[in-house]
Amino acid sequence: MEKYKKILIALELNTKTDHSVIKKALELHKACGGQLFLVHAIEYISGYGYGLPYSPVMTTEVEDMLYKHAQKEMEKIGAGLHINAEQQIVQFGSAKFVILDVAEKLKTDLIVLGSHGKHGVRMLLGSTANAVLHGAKCDVLAVRLAQ
């Protein structure tokens, strides 16, 4: 088995789906050692087009709440896995771009993420998993998630 020195685990912060992804990543980590990193992406909220006069302010407040919630959830998961806060990344942006960017900056050897595989042409992989698989410069393990 290839030695993976840095494994990036992409999380949805959904206990139903993340459990399977974390389990697979831990199996590989046990076999290979190395470091584990966690990443979660928060999609930006667009306040435009809703006709609300204060939507940019409201959007900022909601995004701030989402970030704080994601950070708190990530800290819980990280603590349970004994992963340092420095190895827990929460960023705004499209999941596929955040995952690829973080993986490249960290020079990870493996990305582990879930795949829902529900959408049309992308029946085998979800759109995020598909984009990461085709854009990553390292190995990618897409864990099939129960429907």
Query: Taking a C-beta distance cutoff of 8 angstroms, is the pair 16, 27 a contact?
Result: no
Total tally of structural domains belonging to the chain: 1
- Taking only the tens place, the pLDDT of each residue in 132-144 is 999 999 999 999 8
- Taking only the tens place, the pLDDT of each residue in 33-53 is 889 999 999 988 765 555 555
Residue 73 inside a domain? The answer is yes
Confidence of residue 2 (pLDDT cuts 50, 70, 90): low
Mean pLDDT, the chain, whole residue set: 87
Residue 1 inside a domain? The answer is no
Give the DSSP H or E segment for 41. Answer: strand 35-42
Model pTM score: 0.86
Q: Which amino acid belongs to residue 120? A: G
Average pLDDT over residues 17-33: 93
Confidence of residue 54 (pLDDT cuts 50, 70, 90): low
Given a cut of 90, is residue 61 above it in pLDDT?
no
Res 45: pLDDT: 77
| Domain hosting residue 73, numbered range | 6-144
Cα 40 to Cα 18: distance, rounded to the nearest angstrom: 11
Q: What is the CATH number of the domain that holds 105?
A: 3.40.50.620
Query: Taking a C-beta distance cutoff of 8 angstroms, is the pair 33, 6 a contact?
Result: no
Confidence of residue 15 (pLDDT cuts 50, 70, 90): confident
Residue 55 inside a domain? The answer is yes
Average pLDDT over residues 95-119: 90
